[in-house]
Amino acid sequence: MGLAALSILLPLFAGAAEGAGWAGGLYRSAELGLLDVRMEGGRVSGKYQGEGACPDFQVDQQIVEGQLEGNVLVGTVMLCQTGPACRQRAYPFLAFLNAADAALTADVRLDAGCASPGLKGSRLVLAVAPADSRGPDKEVAGPAAQVARAKGNAKRNAELARTAVVAGARLTDSGDYAGAAQQFEAAISYDERNWIAYEGLGTAEAKRGNVTKAIDAFERARDLAHDARQENADIFYNLACVVSRRGDKKEALGYLRQALRLGFALPDQMNADPDLNSLRDDPEFKKLVSQAAAQKAKGGRHGDRRP
């Protein structure tokens, strides 16, 4: 996987070097197009608004996602690509804020043999868009027209997200975990609250041995599923597995308890799962296995463990 760095001009007030006072708003990249960039709880999201060189991007598709910590923005940028076997995918980035002008400048390194019309050479720059950047379709057209447009975009993007999730699941089943990760990232770009896509991404990254990325994806899936009142036992079991790989026994046991609370009932799998080897001799783990056996005997849901 190629590493990438993103050049972004963020609309910051005084204290920009610490990432404070961010205003949000419309931003322009000459090649990538217009993005509506927002932050919520430190989480940055930039959604496509049009006028870019990537023909398949959809209005309100998430192009930039990341976390602003101090003067560092860490996340991913979605890019269309040209070249053999090159397709739309997200690249990780690490950008540093220039306190003098609030600009972040760096090069993006794509995979070998790939190029992107969303870049100028290897450079990507987002700048605060001029006041006249909103074209006629962006002008205020009345509440009814705005609601209709938003609903149309949301429906289309939800369909594209579902299609990408299905493709990602198929690639996961076939063992193409890198391809699966790209499909799940694409799904997230269309629907940033699709917890199933995040769960799939966590699975793909876990299969690839990318434990930190898997944990991040599963944690996001957990939070979004909770918000949607669709808490899922499998997410907690998978979290237990990946944090156990990292050696966090206490946290892993906590996630197992949550999985069982939600109905996970596969005691034999818990005993045989190599990801849980670090817990095998722990009395609490043995107690949880017994609890899973009791739930299974009562007809508890078996779960669907994927990593």
What's the whole-model pTM score?
A: 0.66
The answer to whether position 186 is within a domain reads yes
CB atoms within 10 A of CB 219: 16
CATH number at residue 52: 2.40.128
Please check whether residues 108 and 19 belong to one and the same domain.
Answer: yes
Alpha helix segments (H runs only) across 59-176: 143-174
**237 & 169 share domain:** no
* Cα-based angle 252, 194, 162 (whole degrees, multiple of 5): 125
Strand order in the sheet with 72-79: 89-96, 72-79, 62-69, 43-50, 33-40, 25-29, 125-128, 7-9, 103-104
Compute the residue count for the chain. Answer: 307
Considering the domain architecture, whether residues 74 and 169 belong to the same structural domain is answered as no
Nearest-angstrom CA–CA distance, 95 and 44: 13
User: Among 130, 160, 181, where does a domain finish?
Assistant: 130
The pLDDT tens digits of the residues spanning 33-49 come to 888 888 777 788 889 99
**Within a domain: residue 25?**
yes
* DSSP class per residue in 209-277: T-HHHHHHHHHHHHHHHHHTT---HHHHHHHHHHHHHTT-HHHHHHHHHHHHHTT---HHHHHH-GGGG
Domain membership flag for residue 226: no
Return the percentage of the chain with pLDDT > 70, whole number.
77
246 in the same domain as 199: no
pLDDT of residue 131: 65
14, 120: one domain: yes
Is residue 116 located within the same domain as residue 166?
no
Same domain, 101 and 169: no
Instruction: Identify which has the larger pLDDT, 259 or 137.
Output: 259
pLDDT confidence of residue 109: 86
CA distance 123 to 130: 21
How many CB atoms are located within 10 Å of the residue 170 CB? 13
The 10s digit of each residue's pLDDT in 154-166 is: 788 888 888 889 9
Residue whose pair of structure tokens reads 């508890």 in the numeric block? 300
- Residue whose structure tokens are 């944990």: 215
In a domain, 136, yes or no: no
Task: Sort residue 119 into left (φ over 0), alpha (ψ -120 to 50) or beta.
Answer: beta
Reported as a pLDDT band with limits 50, 70 and 90, residue 196 is very high
pLDDT digits (tens, 9 = 90+) for 242-298: 999 999 999 999 999 999 999 999 999 999 999 999 999 999 999 999 999 998 888
Count how many domains the chain has. Answer: 3
Q: How many whole angstroms separate alpha carbon 127 and alpha carbon 8?
A: 7
Predicted confidence at residue 15, as pLDDT, reads 34
Q: Is residue 1 part of a domain?
A: no
CB 36 within 8 A of CB 47: yes
3-state helix, strand, coil in the chain (%, to 5): 45, 20, 35
How many CB atoms lie under 10 A from the CB of residue 82? 12
Over residues 199-246, the pLDDT tens digits come to 999 999 999 999 999 999 999 999 999 999 999 999 999 999 999 999
* Residue 198 in this model has a pLDDT that exceeds 90: yes
Q: Are the C-beta atoms of 47 and 18 separated by less than 8 Å?
A: no
What pLDDT is stored for residue 205 in this prediction? 95
Query: What DSSP string describes 175-210?
Result: T-HHHHHHHHHHHHHH-TT-HHHHHHHHHHHHHTT-
CATH of the domain at 202: 1.25.40
Domain that holds residue 153: 141-210
On whether both 24 and 113 belong to a single domain, the answer is: yes
CA nearest to 89, candidates 163, 184, 220, 210:
184
